Amino acid sequence: MITLNHVSFGYQGQSKQLKEINLKIKEGECVVITGSSGCGKTTLTRVMNGLIPHFYEGELTGNVAIKDQDTRQWPLWKIGQTVGSVFQDPKSQFFTSIVRDELAFGMGNYGASLNEMSRRLSGVLENRSLRDLEYRSLMQLSSGQKQSVAVAAAEMVQPDIYIMDEPSANLDMKATEQMRRMLLQLKEQGKTIVIAEHRLYYLTDVADRIVYMEDGRIIDLFTPEQLIAFSDEKLAELGLRGPVLTHGRSGRAGICKESEQRLNIRNLSVQYRRAKQPALRDVNLNVAKGEVVALIGKNGAGKTTLARTICGLIGEKCGTIAFNAQSVPRKRRRQQCWFVMQDTVYQLFTDSVWNEIMLNHPVTAETTARAELLLKQLHLWAIKDRHPASLSGGQKQRLVLGVGLMQQTDLMILDEPTSGLDGKNLCRVIDQIKDLRARGCGILIITHDHELVAGACDRVVKLRDGQIILNKKTSDLKLATLVHEMTNY
């Protein structure tokens, strides 16, 4: 189905991201591509789905064929009938504003009849549990919901090949399980699947082969059984996430004292204009000095709404928010805390990694030394002169985190800081969080990453339908209980 012979590629004005790639993927096979952030996984998917060379400019050498057709000679619209693509950032592939319209868009472009579109639309909405979102605005969806819509939109065209770039990056654990079941269904239908991914635990019974990349090259290939048999030391050496649901590095139990609270929320409710139900209802939450609190819950439960309200980006309907025991009005809140957003595009403004991390900071020996140290700790120093737009998703994620760490505020809110990160960079982020905790910063982390919760968080707070339904120390939750709480919403 897909053949790559001696394929190399470098984006215009950059060094090669792919180097001498040789790979054959059979019909009905599921191949997972993994490796550290920036190793070339996304670029390889773009070669396979024809975006390189038809959309992304650069130097492509070697031969790329889909069903024995040279992708250079095959028009992109024709490739799109055979290859369904799901990007890491689902917004970048949306063309309409309503879920229903987006799902039907591809079929409409290929001239499908209204009856056929309606039939497929009804089936996809039911099978992918999207019926409640059918008439929702895409802009109003959570990141995970957008990802689910992107997968469903690709499925509507019924391609023979699916190529997915980090499809679980924005999904909660229950949605990830739904993704696993969907992939198994596609395999049963004989579809060929290629997935670039860091989270491997949900793919061990789906994948036929796992391709491991380093620095633009394929270094090794192994089976899921071989991956599961790897020791912890071997996984750490390769920088891979655990292939089974493991507890990760242990955190510590936080002690919340009334006199040491960084954040105090009382009776908070938030309701969007024209919404029938509140997004948050009667939320009460404390975050102490030096405490790391995980905020979990399904996509759309209200986690990001809570974070944006704390920062003053959204106004509350009622309730109070206090920093360091002082009630703070909405307009002043954004000056006293820092919010590292999940969507990195909203927080990158300059023309280089170095200028980004130094933005709004005076150029002094102290700030320069702190910026250099952070970039080295986050494994970004070697690309300090690169434009942020040219970075991989994981590199952007670490850069935005570094920008937040430069602020030195008393309260830090991180929204999915480890989405798109490999095992080594997950550990680097955990180390940075522990450094923040050591200097007394209060930290609230929105996450679906059980390894991050187990490795860095003192307490777990769970939201459902805008209300807190669980508030426990991480040390009081066994592995099975933690995974259950993060999977069952």
φ/ψ of residue 363, rounded to 5: -85, 95
Tell me the C-alpha distance between 154 and 118, whole Å: 16
Tell me the C-alpha distance between 254 and 293, whole Å: 9
Terminal C-alpha separation, the chain: 39
Burial, 389: exposed, middle or buried (Cβ in 10 Å; 0-12, 13-18, 19+)? exposed
Helices 143-156 and 114-127: crossing angle, nearest 10°? 140
Burial, 205: exposed, middle or buried (Cβ in 10 Å; 0-12, 13-18, 19+)? exposed
Count the Cβ atoms, other than its own, within 10 Å of residue 366. 9
Residue owning tokens 């522990």: 434
Whether the Cβ atoms of residue 2 and residue 192 lie closer than 8 Å to each other? yes
What confidence score (pLDDT) does residue 253 get?
44
DSSP structural state of residue 240: P
φ/ψ of residue 53, rounded to 5: -105, 5
Longest dimension (CA), the chain: 69
Whether the Cβ atoms of residue 223 and residue 209 lie closer than 8 Å to each other? yes
Token pair recorded at residue 117 = 């579109």
Tell me the C-alpha distance between 237 and 423, whole Å: 10
From 165, 174, 121, 118, select the one nearest 145 (Cα to Cα): 174
Tell me the C-alpha distance between 428 and 421, whole Å: 10
Token pair recorded at residue 366 = 């102290």
- What's CA 231's distance to the chain center, in Å? 26
What confidence score (pLDDT) does residue 259 get?
53
What confidence score (pLDDT) does residue 144 get?
74
Token pair recorded at residue 452 = 């991050």
Residue 140's alpha-carbon distances to 133, 403, 441, in angstroms, are 10, 27, 31
Q: Name the 3-class secondary structure at 61.
A: strand
Token pair recorded at residue 200 = 């491997």
Whether the Cβ atoms of residue 11 and residue 58 lie closer than 8 Å to each other? yes
Whether the Cβ atoms of residue 224 and residue 205 lie closer than 8 Å to each other? yes
Counted residue by residue, the chain has a size of: 489
Cis peptide, bond prior to residue 278, ω within 30 of zero: no
* Residue 413 host element (H or E): strand 411-415
Return all residues near 171 (Cβ < 8 A) that are at least 6 apart.
Answer: 144, 147, 148, 179, 299, 448
- What's CA 225's distance to the chain center, in Å? 26
What confidence score (pLDDT) does residue 206 get?
96
What confidence score (pLDDT) does residue 249 get?
45
pLDDT 10s per residue in the chain (489 long)? Answer: 999 999 999 998 888 999 999 999 999 999 999 999 889 999 999 999 999 999 999 999 999 999 999 999 999 999 999 999 999 888 889 999 999 999 999 999 999 999 999 999 999 999 888 999 999 999 888 777 888 899 899 999 999 999 999 988 878 888 888 889 889 999 999 999 999 999 999 999 999 999 999 999 999 999 999 999 999 899 999 999 989 876 444 444 444 444 589 999 999 999 998 888 899 999 999 999 999 999 999 888 899 999 999 999 999 999 999 999 899 999 899 888 999 888 787 889 999 999 999 999 999 999 999 999 999 999 999 999 999 988 888 888 889 989 988 988 899 999 999 888 889 989 989 999 998 899 899 999 999 898 899 889 999 999 999 999 999 999 888 877 888 888 877
Whether the Cβ atoms of residue 287 and residue 411 lie closer than 8 Å to each other? yes
Q: Name the 3-class secondary structure at 386.
A: coil
From 339, 329, 332, select the one nearest 445 (Cα to Cα): 339
Whether the Cβ atoms of residue 52 and residue 76 lie closer than 8 Å to each other? no
What confidence score (pLDDT) does residue 246 get?
60
What confidence score (pLDDT) does residue 194 get?
98
Tell me the C-alpha distance between 411 and 264, whole Å: 11
- Give the chain's radius of gyration (CA, Å): 23
- The residue type found at 307 is A
Tell me the C-alpha distance between 422 and 425, whole Å: 6
Residue owning tokens 């369904």: 84
Q: Name the 3-class secondary structure at 196.
A: strand
Mind giving me the DSSP string for 431-452?
Answer: HHHHHHHHTT-EEEEE---HHH
Whether the Cβ atoms of residue 61 and residue 9 lie closer than 8 Å to each other? yes
- What's CA 151's distance to the chain center, in Å? 15
Whether the Cβ atoms of residue 288 and residue 394 lie closer than 8 Å to each other? no
- Alpha helices, H only, 157-285: 173-188, 224-229, 232-238
